[in-house]
Amino acid sequence: MPKILSPICDRIFLAALLHRRFAISSTGARTVAFESRYRVHYVSADRPVPDGAKEADFMAPALEYLASRDGVSACVGAMGFWPLSYLKL
């Protein structure tokens, strides 16, 4: 995955699962620990925001890249598909 997409890596991972047509289900159990560095995630979870949390619109550069000619070419070359066709933002 191109590094610029790291702020939305969870969405890119989901897009890859959808692209490869894996079955998706849930047990409801929490099985993954993922530490976010973005303020919006703590606010939406009603949790205290840690010092140094990122404030800006963290998705904008990644989405702009995905919509660019270079982004499409790099994603298809590196991952074999264009993630934006699977994302619902």
Encode the chain (89 residues) as per-residue pLDDT tens digits. 888 998 888 889 999 999 999 998 889 898 878 788 888 889 988 999 999 998 768 788 999 999 999 999 999 999 999 999 998 76
**For 35, phi and psi rounded to 5 degrees?**
-95, 120
Residues facing residue 54 across a β-bridge: 38
Residue 85 to residues 7, 39, 67, 80, 81, Cα–Cα distance (Å): 18, 27, 10, 12, 9
- DSSP tag of 11: H
Whether 37 is covered by a domain: the verdict is yes
Domain range holding 9? 3-22+32-85
The total number of structural domains in the chain stands at: 1
Whether 27 is covered by a domain: the verdict is no
